[in-house]
Structure formats: structure tokens, C-alpha cells
A and B are shown apart, each in its own frame.
With several copies, the nearest count.
Chain A
Amino acid sequence: MDKTLSSLAEAVSGIGDGATIMIGGFGGSGAPIELIHALIDRGSRNLTVINNNAGNGHVGIAAMIEQNMISKMICSFPRSADPKVFTDLYLSGGIELDLVPQGTLAERIRAGGAGIPAFYTPTGFGTDLAVGKPIAEFEGRSYVQERWLKADFALIKAELGDPMGNLTYRMAARNFNPLMAMAAERTIAQVSSLVPLGEIDPESVVTPGIFVDGLVEISTPKQEEILNRRGARYPESAA
């Protein structure tokens, strides 16, 4: 079993217009920058993107928005000082936003991966973000019903990967990545080091290979925060 893909282009080749894509990462950590930029090269449009944020700077998801590839964002914290492109698009009605509390976002994605179509959470009860959602009382307390989230594709970033798709992560770059791996029809991981089968201790595997469909090695991955501190743009000609 070898899930290794030969190129970034191959990795994103199946992602057509209108797809729903989960993209791992939280702020500048754990974002699969090379996969995102390969998707920008492919130029898919009308995408729904699920991520905690709506991009920062002019690379990664922010660059996808600048390239007008995204018609809807599902996230918890889309506000950003730079760039203003999401803000401007949102305020002009050019991009749809589904705002979800961060813990509910994580749990909805896990539910999608675990075959749980709906669950109840105290989060959001009595707030504007629960409007229209079913409410139920358990043991005298009120809870909001939330639904699973699934996607056509997940693009994630991992640290070690083996040919069967077993993955580990690097520090807080783990965040949403293992959850998204579970919740997509097709999960593509960029790994910083592709290691031979058997080199990842079965005790230390965070994402078992059953959740991963393809992986591509990017041995010195770009880090979103560092790119942004350098003022990087993608594509470079977009400057």
C-alpha cells in the first residue's frame, strides 16, 4: 500500500469548481501552504472553505480569497487586520460567511468523521449564533443542536508520514488537522518527512492511515507566520 503522490499538482488535481474543502491550520501554524498554493495554481473556483480563520497576509487562504476562488467561508474567527480583502468582500456581499464557535467547529468536524449526524452543546445557547437551531433541555440545562460537518476534500499538514498515511504532527500545528483528516471524502496530507513503513511508532501515530488518501512530501515546508512577517505574496506576481 503506497499512498504517496508524485507532485503537488497531482495532489490537488481532483479538486474541481464548487468543492467543499477543509484546510488545516490555526492562524499561522499547521497550514498546508504548499497544497494551498498548488490549488491556487490549479485555479478552482466557487469553493467552500472550512478553516478556523479566513487567512492572514497574502499567502495561503488569504491568497485564495484574493484570487476570488472562495464563495463561502465556514470559520470561527475571520477578522484580520491584514488583508482587508475578506472584510471588503464580506461587506460587499461577495463572499458568504458561516460563523461557528471554535469548539463547536472542531466538534462538528469530528462528528462528521465519526458518523454522528448531530449533537447537543451548551455553546451558543441564547446567542445570535443559535438562532434557528433546535434547543433541548437535559437535566435542567438548555443545549443547542449542532450538525456534523463534512467535506469533499481535506488539505492538511503533518510532520511525519509513512506510505500507508499514518501521520504525526508538530507541536501546536496539530490543531484541526487530525479532525479534518477524518471528515473528508478525500484527505491529502503534505508531510515534512516521508518515512518508510514501520518507522512511526504505532503508539505515537496521531492520524491512522485509514483517514488519509494521499500524501506528498514537502521537506522544507513554508510556515505561514514566517511568510507573512516577510510580507510574502502568492502568486509572487500578485504584488
Chain B
Amino acid sequence: MSEQLNAIKLSNAQIAWRAAQDIEDGSYVNLGIGFPEMIAKFQPQGRDVVYHTENGVLGFGKAPPEGEEDWDLINAGKKAITLKPGSAFFHHADSFAMVRGGHLDLAVLGAYQVAETGDLANWSTGRGGVPAVGGAMDLVHGAKRVAVVTDHVTKTGEPKLVKHCTMPLTGVGCVTRIYTSLAVVDIDQGHFLLREKLAALSFDDLQALTGATLNIAGGISDLDTPKL
């Protein structure tokens, strides 16, 4: 099924686009380093979203043109950013007070594995090397919604949505919604609740690619995105 899957599955840009549709006007949002950062590109017109970065900036905008970077103005991924009117600087303790204190409306992170309990594993494969955690363990606590963007399965076809995480945990019971390359899945009281799936994929095929039961409540919508 792998080839067929690759033909229908969403690109990262499409997953990011889908996640962006759920970000409400007036939200304060932290986008994790890497793939989640792409979501900002697809922010729907007319919605005002304030982006937070761990290293002490609120209200930043796009990357500056190459050659115009100020390297004292970066985000947590160490990429150069620009300021929008109404931005603010603050130190690291105030920055994580915003995170831990429940002031963010949404944090979006990547994942190695997400369990049906909402447990997230995204910081360490547990296979040795230099461990590095950054702000991931802080970000999964405090934001009103903690969402994940991810491929539905690993490169070798293993489910990333699982019953129990086998990799080292980032946080326990913290994820509220998962945007995958095949579906949108909520975490609801310790269970996966399927909200949307690609029309080209049957429920049974999706279930086969998922490591725990996909529950249904109130119908499944088509996961429909533009070509990106």
C-alpha cells in the first residue's frame, strides 16, 4: 500500500495549510522549530495572529530578505525574523511564563509518536547521541490547545499514532489535536477521535495505518486541501 499512500498523502505544506485553517483570529501562537513554522505561511487572510517565540519576542513577522538579517533578532530556531507593529521583547523567564502560565492559545509541534492518551514523544529517539530538549517539554504544557503536525506513518511505514509511545516522552496527556498526512484526529478522553480523512482512503485502510483504535463521533469529514 506504500506506493499508493505516497500518491495520495498530503505534503507537509498541505498539512501546514490544514492546521492554519484552525487558528482563530486574535490568537497567540507558538510554532515549533522546523515543519510547524511553515504554518505561518498559510495563515488565512483577515486573521490577526500574534506569534510567540521562546527566546523573547512576541509579534514577529516574516524572515527578512537575505543580506538584511539582524542576528540579534531571531526566533527559537535561530532564524532571522522581522518585527510587526505592536511587538515586544522580554527575557526568557517572562517568555516561559507565557508558555507555562496558559497564555498561549495554541502550540504546534512535530512528533515522533503520539499516543491515544495524548502523550507525545518528539525530542529523543532514545537511540543515543547528544540529547537535546530545548523548549519542547515546556511548550506541551500551558497552551490552551497543543496540536501536532506529522506524517501519519514513519518512513518505514510504522504508525506514528500509537497506543503507547515507545520513545522517550516529551509530555504526558498533552496533545489535543493531530494533523497528519492522511487525517485530522482529536484526542478525546484517552482515545483517538477521527474528525477528517482523505476521501481517497477508506476508514479500514486508515485504521490499518494507525496504532490504536480510531473512534468516530458525529461523522467524518473529507480532509480537503489545495494543491501545495
A and B touch in the complex (CB under 8 A): yes
Please report which residues of chain B, range 156-196, place their CB below 8 angstroms from some CB of chain A when the two chains form the complex.
168-172
Report B-chain residues with C-beta under 8 Å of the C-beta of A100. 133
Report A-chain residues with C-beta under 8 Å of the C-beta of B72. 29-30, 170-173, 223
Beta-carbon contacts of B121-149 to A below 8 Å, as 1s and 0s? 00010001111111111100110000000
Interface membership of A209, Cβ < 8 A = yes
- Whether A115 and B88, one on each chain, are in contact in the complex, defined by CB atoms closer than 8 angstroms, is no
Interface membership of B101, Cβ < 8 A = yes
Could you tell me how many residues of chain B have their Cβ less than 8 Å away from some Cβ of chain A? 60
Please report which residues of chain B, range 94-132, place their CB below 8 angstroms from some CB of chain A when the two chains form the complex.
94-104, 119, 124, 128-132
Beta-carbon contacts of A87-121 to B below 8 Å, as 1s and 0s? 10011000001011111111101101111100001
From B58, B83, B133, contact of A208 by CB (8 A): B58
- Whether A115 and B59, one on each chain, are in contact in the complex, defined by CB atoms closer than 8 angstroms, is no
- Whether B135 and A87, one on each chain, are in contact in the complex, defined by CB atoms closer than 8 angstroms, is no
From B78, B97, B137, contact of A114 by CB (8 A): B97
Interface membership of B89, Cβ < 8 A = yes
Report B-chain residues with C-beta under 8 Å of the C-beta of A122. 100, 141-142
Report B-chain residues with C-beta under 8 Å of the C-beta of A114. 93, 96-97, 100-101
| A125 closest partner in B (C-beta) | B172
- Whether B92 and A106, one on each chain, are in contact in the complex, defined by CB atoms closer than 8 angstroms, is yes
Distance between Cα atoms of A78 and B53 in the complex (Å)? 19
| B90 closest partner in A (C-beta) | A208
A123-B141 contact, Cβ under 8 Å, with A166-B86, A179-B92, A205-B89: yes
From B53, B119, B130, B142, contact of A86 by CB (8 A): B130
11 residue pairs of the A-B complex, CB under 8 angstroms, read: A76-B135, A77-B132, A115-B141, A170-B72, A174-B89, A198-B86, A202-B88, A205-B88, A205-B90, A208-B90, A211-B98
Q: Which residues of A contact B (CB under 8 A)?
A: 1, 26-30, 52, 76-79, 86-87, 90-91, 97, 99-107, 109-110, 112-116, 121-129, 162-164, 166, 169-179, 182, 197-198, 200, 202-203, 205-206, 208-211, 223-226
Q: Which residues of B contact A (CB under 8 A)?
A: 26, 28, 48, 50, 52-59, 70-74, 76, 78, 83, 85-104, 119, 124, 128-138, 141-142, 168-172
